[in-house]
Amino acid sequence: DGGITQSPKYLFRKEGQNVTLSCEQNLNHDAMYWYRQDPGQGLRLIYYSQIVNDFQKGDIAEGYSVSREKKESFPLTVTSAQKNPTAFYLCASSPGLAVQTSYNEQFFGPGTRLTVL
């Protein structure tokens, strides 16, 4: 089955440590995204990538880093510079701007809940 996987589902980190969240898709999508969701709030865009080897900052990129070395993978690193990293992290993908459609529907993974101890 095609879809997006995120791992792990739950992640605990000590203050001052970097941690990497995995996101893999087998939908052959060009574009991938990372969002952060805090309790009772909407989604905020961290980083996005429209194509392999290219990515752009979203609205809250400070303290985060990404890479896009392969089409199917878009890992997110939460660095020690991120002041309040405890949140629910969602990865998504879409066909991309190169696809001739009138919309850019996004497909979401199940999320990773990160807790800083």
Partner 1 sequence: GDSVTQMEGPVTLSEEAFLTINCTYTATGYPSLFWYVQYPGEGLQLLLKATKADDKGSNKGFEATYRKETTSFHLEKGSVQVSDSAVYFCALDTGRRALTFGSGTRLQVQP
| Interface with partner 1 (CB under 8 A) | 4, 6, 33, 40-43, 45, 48, 56, 58, 90, 92, 97, 102-111, 113
Number of neighbouring beta carbons within 10 Å of residue 92: 22
- In the bound state with partner 1, the residue whose beta carbon lies nearer, of 84 and 102, is 102
Considering the complex, what minimum distance in angstroms separates the CB of residue 92 from partner 1? 8
Considering the complex, what minimum distance in angstroms separates the CB of residue 71 from partner 1? 18
Considering the complex, what minimum distance in angstroms separates the CB of residue 70 from partner 1? 20
Decide: 89 and 112 in contact? Cβ < 8 Å.
yes
Give the max Cα distance, the chain: 46
Considering the complex, what minimum distance in angstroms separates the CB of residue 9 from partner 1? 9
CA distance 82 to 63: 4
- In the bound state with partner 1, the residue whose beta carbon lies nearer, of 81 and 97, is 97
Q: Is the bond into 8 cis (omega within 30 degrees of 0)?
A: yes
- In the bound state with partner 1, the residue whose beta carbon lies nearer, of 41 and 115, is 41
- In the bound state with partner 1, the residue whose beta carbon lies nearer, of 80 and 107, is 107
Task: State the Cα torsion 22-81-39-93 to the nearest 10°.
Answer: -30
